[in-house]
Amino acid sequence: MKPILLLENRLIDTRVEQPSASLHDRASQFGDGVYEVIRLYQGTFHLLEPHLARLYRSMEELEIRPAFTKAELIHWLYELVTQNECKEDAIVYLQISRGAQIRNHVYADNLTPIVYAYVAEKERPVTLMQNGIHACIEQDIRWLRCDIKSLNLLPNVLARTNAERKNCQEALLVRGNTVTEGSQSNFFLVKQGTLYTHPANHLILNGIVRQYVCSLASGLGIPVREEMFSIKDVLLAEEAFFTGTTFEILPMTHLDGAAINGGVVGSVTTALQKAFQDSIAVSTMQ
Ligand SMILES: Cc1ncc(COP(=O)(O)O)c(C=O)c1O
């Protein structure tokens, strides 16, 4: 992690000052807050605007009212990257908690939200993008507002840890008969050349890369359908992949040990990866 953090409304150089946080922050007691993970390619923000739009939507849904303007937040984020002299592939973790209050389920409506952000180097998952990953099925036991990017991630954490223990790189979540998304990613399958992904409703997080991949697909003339599908559909799919800010486009070659498309990364996935790669190259040149 880089040494300079954003806490509340100022940057703190941790080499000269220890950041101090309230023990009564509702983020630690209730997971009462929201967050974003934003990509930087060679020190340049990628898709910052849609991340901030989703952050503001998450806050609005939870009645978290920031004491700062969006322009101030953007200024702090750019300062964070500049002062850390970040020139690599990295992520910014940005968290906004409802604020500090002596523990009480009922939140006071005059709390000052606490902003916290840092930059960490993060390489692109190049090998996994080329070779694909193994996933396992886990039950989707999350609440019914998965569209909000809240700090409450215990079901995701449990699913992802189970996957790791099974030597898988992602868990594919299933609610009833329906495949929703990954524990930390969205999910797509390809059937007869068409992309299918779960509709952007309360059962999934509408990923920024999910939306971006849909627009790349349109540009490539690949039809996209936001429809529900089952595990059986996945097993019969021509191709399948996960998307996310740190995942980018990760092909799923095996599900619970069963090969998808003979365990080979398919041509639609590769075409989307290439379009994604090209768009990064353009944005980092500007
Ligand atoms: C549950 C879940 N779905 C989807 C995503 C992908 O979202 P994005 O593309 O905005 O990174 C994430 C990323 O953290 C996630 O946690």
Looking at the fold, whether 273 and 141 belong to one and the same domain comes out as: yes
Range of the domain at 178: 126-285
pLDDT, tens digit, for every residue of 7-61?
Answer: 998 999 999 999 999 999 999 999 999 999 999 999 999 999 999 999 999 999 9
Quote the pLDDT of residue 242: 99
pLDDT along the chain (286 residues), means of 10: 95 97 97 98 98 98 96 98 98 98 97 98 98 98 98 98 98 98 99 98 98 98 98 98 98 98 97 97 75
How much is the mean pLDDT over the chain?
97
Structure tokens at 104: 């009480």
Distance CA 147, CA 153 (A): 13
Domain containing residue 236: CATH number: 3.20.10.10
Both 102 and 232 in one domain: the answer is no
Q: What pLDDT is stored for residue 286 in this prediction? A: 64
For the chain, the distance separating the N- and C-terminal CA atoms, rounded to the nearest angstrom, is 26
Same domain, 135 and 110: no
Q: Is 101 in the pocket of ligand 1 (CB under 6 A)?
A: no
Domain count, the chain: 2
H, E, C per residue of 217-261? HHHCCCCEEECCCCHHHHHCCCEEEEEECCCEEEEEEEECCEECH
**Cβ–Cβ under 8 Å, residues 270 and 220:** no
Decide whether any atom of ligand 1 lies within 6 Å of the 185 Cβ. yes
Examine the domain organization and report whether 112 and 206 are in the same domain: no
Domain boundary among 105, 121, 137: 121
Q: Whose CA is nearest to atom 14 of ligand 1?
A: 184
Same domain, 163 and 266: yes
Q: Which of these three, 95, 121, 147, is where a domain ends? A: 121
122 is catalytic: no
Q: Is the CB–ligand 1 distance for residue 32 below 6 Å?
A: no
Tell whether 98 and 186 lie within a shared domain.
no
Q: What is the pLDDT of residue 283?
A: 76
182 CA distance to ligand 1 middle (Å)? 8
Residue 55's domain is classified under what CATH number? 3.30.470.10
CB within 8 A of 247, min separation 6: which ones? 125, 170, 182, 184, 185, 209
